Structure 1
Amino acid sequence: MSAIETKLAELGVTLPDAPAPAANYVPYVIAGDMVYVSGQISADADGMIKGKLGDDMDAEAGAQAAKACAISLLAQLKAACDGDIDRLVRVVKLVGFVNSTADFGDQPKVINGASDFMVAALGDKGRHARSAVSAASLPFGVAVEIEAIFQIA
């Protein structure tokens, strides 16, 4: 087991198989030493995590949805690295979209679910630049979608 997967196991997380694309795009693109991962929607073993922040979901539940996105992002990274996730040099940037009402303003708290998880799982390699923005709706009614840029060796 890789060092990163060992740390994930300590956190109670096993990476799932990388989710298949839901439309006409590829799950990731490698350009030089950078991996650009397409947006991963909030989903776990029970299915899609749906909801609208500020309506039927609070920031804490949204943060859990964002953590689920982060797990999928790492699964895609592992696939991009032919199974060797320890090739990760660092998380460069996360861009988080939050399905929220017009008056909901805690998008950063929601996306912290992904950011906090990346740092807990990866240490300093997990520290990253980030955007957290509101969206009037997201595909399939999911609560959160996050895309990522990783640097690999």
Structure 2
Amino acid sequence: MSQFETTLATMGVTLPDAPAPAANYVPYVRAGDMLYVSGQVAKDGDTLLVGKLGDDMDVAAGAAAAKACAIALLAQVKAACGGDLDRLVRVVKLTGFVNSTPDFTQQPQVINGASDFLGEALGEAGKHARAAVSAASLPFGVAVEIDGVFQIR
């Protein structure tokens, strides 16, 4: 088990198998030492985490959905690294999309669910640049979708 996965295990997190793409795209693209991971939607197992922030979902539930996206992102990184998550050098950038009402303004607090999780799980390697933006809707009605850029060796 990798050092990162050992830390995840102490947090009670086991990475799932990397989710398969839901349409005509690849889950990630490697360019040199950079890995671009396609957007991961919020899921708990096979159950999509659906909802609209500012309507039927609160910030805490949105942050939990963002954490689920971060776990899926790490699963994709692990797959791209041939099963060795310790090849991850750092999280470079996340872009978080929050399914929210026009008057909802707490997108950063929602995406903190992913950022806080990655910082705790990966330490310095988890610190990243990011954007947190509102979306009128997201695929399948999910609450959050996040894509990411990672540096790997």
Q: What TM bracket, shorter-length normalisation?
A: over 0.9
**Matches of 2:35 and 2:133, distance apart in 1:** 22
Deviations 1:84-117 (A, max 9, x none): 1100110000000000000000000000000000
Instruction: Please report the TM-score for the alignment, with normalisation by the length of structure 2.
Output: 0.99
The offset of 1:45, in angstroms, is 1.6
Structure 1 residue aligned with 2:11: 11
Identity across matched positions, percent: 75
Structure 1 residue aligned with 2:112: 112
User: Counterpart of 1:123 in structure 2: which amino acid?
Assistant: G
Structure 2 residue aligned with 1:25: 25
Structure 1 residue aligned with 2:42: 42
SS in 2 for 1:125: helix
The offset of 1:38, in angstroms, is 0.1
Misfit runs of 4+, over 2 Å: none
**Structure 2 unaligned regions, length at least 5:** none
Structure 1 residue aligned with 2:95: 95
**Structure 1 unaligned regions, length at least 5:** none
Counterparts of 1:47-86 in structure 2 under 5 Å?
47-86=47-86
The offset of 1:44, in angstroms, is 1.3
Deviations 1:22-56 (A, max 9, x none): 00000000000000000000001251000000000
**Matches of 2:46 and 2:87, distance apart in 1:** 30
Q: How many residues align?
A: 153
SS in 2 for 1:36: strand
Instruction: Please report the TM-score for the alignment, with normalisation by the length of structure 1.
Output: 0.99
